[in-house]
Amino acid sequence: MLNCTNLSVSIKKKTILNDLSLAIAPGSVHAIMGPNGSGKSTLAHTIAGNPLYKVTNGDMQFREKTITHLAPHQRARLGIFLSFQQPPAIPGLKVLLLLKEAYRALHPKDDIDTERFQQQVEQYLSLLRMDRAFLYRNCNEGFSGGERKRFELLQLLVLKPKFIILDEIDSGLDVDALALVARVVNMLRAQDDQRSFLIITHYQRILDHVQPDYVHVLCDGSIVDSGDASLVHQVDQKGYDAYKQNTP
Ligand code: ADP
Ligand code: MG
């Protein structure tokens, strides 16, 4: 589904990712673990097409198309969704309007009427244990940490992307909120056996709830170790310093 080949990425002329290769097959869940500042969010934004991040070498293919130079909205249309680590507030844009317009842009052939659309959204809201009034608030304006994360999940449920990048969706959540996030992610996983995930985290706890097929350790902009789900516990025991010592 997604192939990153020998990817090097810089921001403001500073190299962040270095010769990174990653292949994600349809229907698989990959986890990227790594310490703060290792380049996890850079990788996420590079896949989503944030123009701040410059690809200086290598390329990216998504469902057999080269996406390296596509705009973010073109990548979104192909089915890529990035859940932000720090979603920005958009004053004046109501949640329901964003969902409706984004759904129309991503699914132009589905001429679902407004009433039915809203009914579906409300079902997802109750799944996320959110109030209907949420739909009429401005996107991320004054949202608590937990509300921001649930809004990201609401977008996923409504927009039904093919490839989902979750950038630290688990950070700052209490046990109950984490369990809810995990339940929704597992539901999205079960809904479509071709859907793939890239779960970015520096803790093991979300990966206890959402079993990854593959785990990669990112340090200083390079993948320094890859394995199956058992790697999560090794990383947890060894810590990231053990890896850092091996990199210059
Ligand atoms: P992680 O998500 O693993 O914590 P990031 O990808 O956010 O790491 O950051 C990797 C490196 O890139 C850090 O050294 C960070 O300071 C730098 N970086 C990321 N975004 C920016 C930015 N917008 N401007 C300048 N430096 C940045
Ligand atoms: Mg980050």
Q: What is the pLDDT of residues 103-151, one digit of tens each?
A: 999 999 988 888 999 999 999 999 999 999 999 999 999 999 889 999 9
Domain ranges of the chain: 2-244
The confidence score (pLDDT) of residue 98 equals 96
Measuring from atom 19 of ligand 1, which residue has the nearest CA? 42
Contacts of 13 (CB under 8 A, 6+ apart): none
CA of 42 to the centre of ligand 2 (A): 7
On the question of pLDDT at 86 being above 80, the answer is yes
β-bridge partners, 32: 200, 216
Q: Is the CB of residue 48 less than 8 Å from the CB of residue 73?
A: no
Among 153-167, 171-185, 198-212, the range of highest mean pLDDT: 153-167
On the question of pLDDT at 47 being above 90, the answer is yes
Find the ligand nearest to 166 CA.
2
The confidence score (pLDDT) of residue 243 equals 84
The residue to mutate among 18, 41, 82, 240, having the most atoms of ligand 1 within 8 angstroms of its beta carbon, is 41
**18: part of which helix (H) or strand (E)?**
strand 14-24
CA of 144 to the centre of ligand 1 (A): 24
Q: Domain 2-244 adopts which CATH fold?
A: Rossmann fold (3.40.50)
Q: What confidence category does residue 200 fall into, taking pLDDT thresholds of 50, 70 and 90?
A: very high
Q: What confidence category does residue 246 fall into, taking pLDDT thresholds of 50, 70 and 90?
A: low
Q: What is the pTM of this model?
A: 0.94
* Sign of the CA dihedral running 139, 142, 147, 152: positive
The confidence score (pLDDT) of residue 52 equals 95
**208: part of which helix (H) or strand (E)?**
helix 205-209
Q: What is the mean pLDDT of residues 162-175?
A: 92
- Three-class secondary structure of residue 75 per DSSP: helix
Q: Is the CB of residue 3 less than 8 Å from the CB of residue 23?
A: yes
On the question of pLDDT at 54 being above 80, the answer is yes
CA of 37 to the centre of ligand 1 (A): 6
The confidence score (pLDDT) of residue 245 equals 64
The confidence score (pLDDT) of residue 216 equals 97
What is the DSSP secondary structure assignment for residue 240, as one 8-state letter? S
- Three-class secondary structure of residue 215 per DSSP: strand
Mean pLDDT of the chain: 94
On the question of pLDDT at 1 being above 80, the answer is yes
On the question of pLDDT at 74 being above 60, the answer is yes
Round to whole Å and give the CA distance between 53 and 43.
Answer: 9
Out of 3-12, 33-42, 159-168, 198-207, least confident range: 198-207
- Three-class secondary structure of residue 73 per DSSP: helix
Residue 242 CB neighbours (<10 A): 15
| pLDDT: which is higher, 139 or 237 | 139
